[in-house]
Amino acid sequence: MSTTFYEENTVTMLAGPCSIESAEQMEEVSAALEDLGLHWIRGGAFKPRTSPYSFQGLGVEGMQIMADAGRRHHLATLTEVVDTACVETTTALVDGLQIGTRNMANFELLKVVGSATAENQKPVLFKRGMAALIDEWLSAAEYLTMGGNPNVMLCERGLRTFETATRFTLDIAAVPVIHKRSLLPICVDVSHPAGQADLIPALAKAAIAAGCDALMIEVHPDPPHAKSDGPQQLTIPVFAELLTELRSLAAALGKTIR
Ligand code: PEP
Ligand code: MN
């Protein structure tokens, strides 16, 4: 099991459900990801929901469920930390920490995550704020690296614009801009900007063609019954089919998807 996000000539797939909902759900997704030769699983335990009446996540119990499934299927685990209080428990239970779009400018959280991961060098996936300039995002990333952990991957996940046809406007140009301006690798989350499952294949191909180092795609065994982000999650068979196509595209660019 590899617990790095970044390898040269590789696109790391960070797939998994939006929210960790049950042991059965995580078992089904983990088994599929292992079969597909992937190395990571993502899942939200503390969900930063727009409405307080929406599903808030299973918390620590959710992280335990994902850690068990990951161990059984040789997958590294990734989950979001939403506040300073959960950083220590999260670092102890999972392999990678995600900072979400709503917390990009929560500098106190960034300082805590930077220092909590300084010793173990656990990878941190740092999402761009939905209304943040690339400059602001890169500057905020230094709160993490300054704490002593250089193992940070940036993640473009779409911006709030006037457009309503998609959930967020994916800034694909952020990929080459980051490669030009920063030494940090870059992931593209295609699920949250799409908001709809049928747009995912085109966005994922665009992200690989643009030169992303990792891709995030939400995958759920039964999207219509998902507790969050149902419309944008791919079923396991649809994800498997897309992965075959993405692997051919990556190969044409001299890369492998793992
Ligand atoms: C997520 O990846 O689960 C998530 C909430 O994403 P974002 O912070 O980009 O909205
Ligand atoms: Mn989601």
Taking the mean position of all CA atoms in its chain, how far away is CA 251?
22
73 assigned to some structural domain: yes
228 assigned to some structural domain: yes
Strand partners, 25: none
How many domains are there within the chain? 1
Element (H, E) at 54: none
Decide: 127 in ligand 1 pocket, CB within 6 A: yes
Q: From atom 8 of ligand 1, which residue's Cα is the shortest distance away?
A: 100
User: Residue 186's domain is classified under what CATH number?
Assistant: 3.20.20.70
* Structure tokens belonging to residue 75: 């997958």
Query: Could you state, in chain order, the average pLDDT of each consecutive group of 10 residues for the chain (258 residues)?
Result: 87 98 98 98 94 95 98 98 96 98 98 96 98 98 95 98 98 98 98 98 98 98 98 98 98 98
Q: From atom 10 of ligand 1, which residue's Cα is the shortest distance away?
A: 101
Residue 1 pLDDT: 63
Residue 48 pLDDT: 87
144, 126 Cβ separation under 8 angstroms: yes
The angle, 0 to 180 degrees and rounded to 10, between the axes of the packed helices 174-181 and 200-210 is: 30
Nearest ligand 1 atom to alpha carbon 155: 9
Residue 3 pLDDT: 83
5 assigned to some structural domain: no
Residue 131 pLDDT: 98
Q: Which residue range(s) make up the domain with 237?
A: 10-257
Decide: 156 in ligand 1 pocket, CB within 6 A: no
Q: What is the pLDDT of residues 69-120, one digit of tens each?
A: 999 999 999 999 999 999 999 999 999 999 999 999 999 999 999 999 999 9
211 assigned to some structural domain: yes
CA of 1 relative to ligand 2 center, distance in Å: 25
3 assigned to some structural domain: no
